[in-house]
C-alpha cells in the first residue's frame, strides 16, 4: 500500500511560502500544493540563484521557476508508478516518457526536463541527490525553464523509500 504524503492547502494558508515560486493561474485561479512542494521549489530557486558547475558543465545563475499545478500530474503519475512497481527510470512501466506524460496535461510545453530521486523521504536528501548528479543538476540549473512541479510518494513499508519526481518545463 502506498500513502501519498501530501497535505493540500490553499495559497492563503501556506506559511513561509514564496508567492513568486507558485503559479496560481488557471481556470479557477486556484493552485493547491503542499508545504513540501513549496519548500522544494524554494530550494530549487535558491540553487538556481548561484552559478555552479554540474559535473564539468558550468551554469550561470538562472531566474526562479514557479510551481505549476498544470504540470504536477506528470510528476505525480510517474512517482506513483515508480513507487507501486519499485523501480526508478525516466520511462514509465507503460513505456511512456516525460513528454508523453506531460502531453496528457493542460500544459502546452516547448521545453521539458526531469530529475528523480529515491531515498528515505527527507526533502534535503532528495534535493542533494539531484544536485550531486550532473545531469539532474543541469536540469535544475537550466536557464530555459519557467515552471516546475515536484511530487513525493512514500511507500508505507519502512524498508522502502520515497520516490521523488521533479518536472521542469517552459510553455510555448
Q: Please identify which residue in the block is written with the cell numbers 530557486.
A: 45
Q: What is the CATH number of domain 2-171?
A: 3.40.33.10
The Cα–Cα gap between 119 and 96 comes to 23
Pairing state between β 66-68 and 147-155: parallel
Average pLDDT, the chain: 82
Q: Out of 27-41, 61-75, 95-109, 134-148, pick the least confident.
A: 27-41
- What are the pLDDT digits (tens) for 121-146? 689 999 999 999 999 999 999 999 99
pLDDT at 157: 59
> What pLDDT sits at residue 3?
32
In angstroms, the CA 94 to CA 51 distance is: 37
Domain ranges of the chain: 2-171
- Output the pLDDT for position 84: 82
Contact 71, 107 (CB under 8 A): yes
Residue 39's contacts (CB-CB under 8 Å, 6 or more residues apart) are 16, 123
What's the pLDDT at 119?
78
Rounded CA-CA distance 101/80 in Å is 13
Give tens-digit pLDDT for 94-130. 998 989 999 999 999 999 999 999 876 689 999 999 9
Amino acid at each position: 500500500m502506498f500513502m501519498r504524503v501530501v497535505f493540500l492547502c490553499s495559497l492563503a494558508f501556506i506559511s513561509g511560502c514564496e508567492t513568486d515560486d507558485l503559479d496560481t493561474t488557471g481556470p479557477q485561479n486556484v493552485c493547491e500544493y503542499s508545504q513540501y512542494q513549496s519548500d522544494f521549489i524554494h530550494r530549487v530557486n535558491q540553487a538556481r540563484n548561484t552559478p555552479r558547475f554540474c559535473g564539468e558543465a558550468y551554469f550561470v545563475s538562472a531566474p526562479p521557476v514557479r510551481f505549476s499545478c498544470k504540470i504536477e500530474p506528470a510528476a505525480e503519475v510517474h512517482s506513483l508508478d515508480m513507487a507501486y512497481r519499485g523501480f526508478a527510470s525516466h520511462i514509465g512501466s507503460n513505456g511512456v516518457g516525460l513528454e508523453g506524460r506531460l502531453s496528457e496535461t493542460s500544459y502546452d510545453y516547448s521545453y521539458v526536463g526531469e530529475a528523480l530521486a529515491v531515498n528515505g523521504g527527507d526533502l534535503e536528501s532528495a534535493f542533494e541527490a539531484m544536485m550531486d548528479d550532473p545531469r539532474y543538476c543541469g536540469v535544475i540549473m537550466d536557464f530555459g525553464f519557467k515552471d516546475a512541479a515536484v511530487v513525493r510518494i512514500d511507500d508505507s513499508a519502512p524498508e522502502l523509500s520515497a520516490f521523488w519526481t521533479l518536472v521542469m518545463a517552459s510553455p510555448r
